[in-house]
Amino acid sequence: MTISIPYYCKSLDWDEFMADYPPPPHFHTTVGRLSADAMHELQERRFLDRVAEAWDVPFYRRRWTAAGLDNGDVTRLEHIDRIPIFNSDDLKEALQSAPPFGDHYRFDRSAFGTMPLKIQTSGGTTGMPRPTLFDPVAWEVQGIQLARAAFEQGALPGDVVQVTYTNSLANAGWNAFNALFNWMGCVPVTTGSGVVTPSMRKLEYAREWGVDWWFARGEYLGRLAQVAEENGFDLHQLKTRFLFSFLGPDVDGHFRAKLEAAWGCPVYDNYGTHEIGLIAFEGRERKGKHINEDTCYVEIVDTDTGVPLPYGQRGNLVATSLHRSVPPIIRYDLRDLMIMTDREESESGIVSRKLSTFLGRADEMVKLRGTNVYPLACQSAVTKDDRTTGDYICVVRYVGEGISRREEMTVRIERKSADVDSAALEAAMRQALYKDLGVKVDVEIVDPGALAEFTRLGKDKVRRLLDLRKS
């Protein structure tokens, strides 16, 4: 019996691949500095390649034909708005159409073993998570995207980097490891989440092994600072150069300022997704996030109508992957609220369109007395008050019956210690949240650690909404 094994080391022409998707430091002198016309030409060529492939994919062919689109109707990048948008609910339908992996690929299970493939998942808070297959191009481009960001923010070959995401079915920890190990020459310390390695032990490793910088979610960096304070551990002794993070809706910068004061170093904000990778990253001046434009075409669309919006207006981020064929990702509404600005140059010379601070999730919007409220918009008020741990969760439920039924929201907030006056903190939080949200919400002050089982702080992804409307 003859067996053919698809060896990963032979799966790509690596020199050609690196020329197509330059890793650091080459990105800064090539694709990262392309003119607007040259970038448009590159994006259009890759976009049309992905569209051609998608016509062979049942998921796209079904949706596009139903929308009245014919093969050949899209011949320019400017025709992208002729293609219908899809979201994660549509991917769930794709999975149901052809379980377990869906009909949004050009192949089925019989093709496994003909190419290197990896399964990662997204979602799964309730029920089964949503699987996504990665081929070598999808896998390695995600690593290069993140390596570009790390290099721009100050990473150097030989750096020891602590990664506080777990290498699991979730993608972020693997993505960081790939970027550091394959594309930056850094030394990853894969301690994982707080469930895998206790927070205090992480700090001890950092001190003993000379960790140069960290890859961590913003909330968890705050948790590490709290653990350090509780244990008399001076974070400044670590001499951390910078923190690579995801800060969430830190619109006024209070959260970043608190982290920087605690750690004694710059914090850089980034934005990425499970399917497409690191879409955008901050430059050294930390004024907006540069889009990895050769790998992702970004649109901002109206939350209700899906109509593309001009620069400077807030809406849902719709992403098209320019590198993924397994699977194609074309006009994917991530339902993340953002603002996009026109091309700008960073201090290091990168030129691209930019994304704003993350502004919340459109699918977590709560309607309170005619006002749209996003749970993540509570972050600023909570984190800027030194009497809190920074941890909170919004509990939404229906009250009343029949025609008088309405939505109400209670924001549960952890006080920093039992010495904090709960009544005074509650009053202050009510006022601060009313100012930020534009509507009054209930506030409940709880003791430190009380919310961990609900928010999952210390695990890979923090939850800020507990929706009881369906219970």
In whole angstroms, give the CA distance from residue 379 to residue 397: 20
pTM confidence score: 0.86
What's the pLDDT at 380?
A: 86
- Bigger pLDDT: 456 or 232? 232
Q: Which of 14-28, 107-121, 351-365 has the lowest mean pLDDT?
A: 351-365
Residues 287 and 391 in one domain: no
Confirm if 375 and 464 have CB atoms less than 8 A apart. Answer: yes
Which of 77, 5, 21, 101 has the alpha carbon at shortest distance from 294?
21
Alpha carbon of 393 to those of 308, 375, 442: distances in Å? Answer: 32, 8, 12
Residues 42 and 162 in one domain: yes
Residue 414 sits in a domain whose CATH number is 3.30.300.30
In whole angstroms, give the CA distance from residue 64 to residue 79: 13
Alpha carbon of 471 to those of 78, 384, 397, 451: distances in Å? Answer: 45, 33, 9, 20
Write down which residue in 362, 383, 405 finishes a domain.
362
Residues 321 and 428 in one domain: no
Residues 91 and 188 in one domain: yes
Alpha carbon 1 to chain centroid, angstroms: 46
Q: Where residue 348 falls among pLDDT bands split at 50, 70, 90?
A: confident
Residues 348 and 425 in one domain: no
Q: How many other C-beta atoms lie within 10 A of the C-beta of residue 212?
A: 21
Residues 378 and 353 in one domain: no
% of the chain beyond a pLDDT of 70: 97
What's the pLDDT at 427?
A: 94
Residues 374 and 316 in one domain: no
Q: Across residues 241-252, what is the average pLDDT? A: 92
What's the whole-number average pLDDT of the chain?
A: 92
State the total domains in the chain: 2
What's the pLDDT at 248?
A: 87
Write down which residue in 331, 362, 393 finishes a domain.
362
Res 287 pLDDT > 50: yes
Alpha carbon 50 to chain centroid, angstroms: 23
Q: Across residues 252-276, what is the average pLDDT? A: 94
Write down which residue in 362, 377, 400 finishes a domain.
362
For the chain, give the number of residues: 471
In whole angstroms, give the CA distance from residue 398 to residue 380: 26
Alpha carbon of 395 to those of 40, 91, 140, 413, 435: distances in Å? Answer: 45, 27, 39, 11, 19
Res 360 pLDDT > 90: no
Q: Which of 171-175, 291-295, 369-373 has the lowest mean pLDDT?
A: 369-373
Q: Where residue 165 falls among pLDDT bands split at 50, 70, 90?
A: very high
Residues 353 and 423 in one domain: no
Residue 222 sits in a domain whose CATH number is 3.40.50.12780
Alpha carbon of 306 to those of 84, 303, 445: distances in Å? Answer: 9, 6, 39
Task: Give the orientation angle of helix 218-230 with respect to helix 199-209, to 10 degrees.
Answer: 90
Residues 281 and 410 in one domain: no
Q: Where residue 460 falls among pLDDT bands split at 50, 70, 90?
A: low
pLDDT tens-digit map of 201-233? 999 999 999 999 999 999 899 999 999 999 999
Res 192 pLDDT > 50: yes
Res 126 pLDDT > 50: no
Residues 372 and 348 in one domain: no
Alpha carbon of 389 to those of 40, 54, 99, 249: distances in Å? Answer: 46, 47, 43, 17
In whole angstroms, give the CA distance from residue 25 to residue 69: 41
What's the pLDDT at 404?
A: 59
Residues 269 and 172 in one domain: yes
In whole angstroms, give the CA distance from residue 385 to residue 389: 9
Q: Domain of 82?
A: 1-362
What's the pLDDT at 402?
A: 67
Q: Where residue 439 falls among pLDDT bands split at 50, 70, 90?
A: confident
Residues 409 and 345 in one domain: no
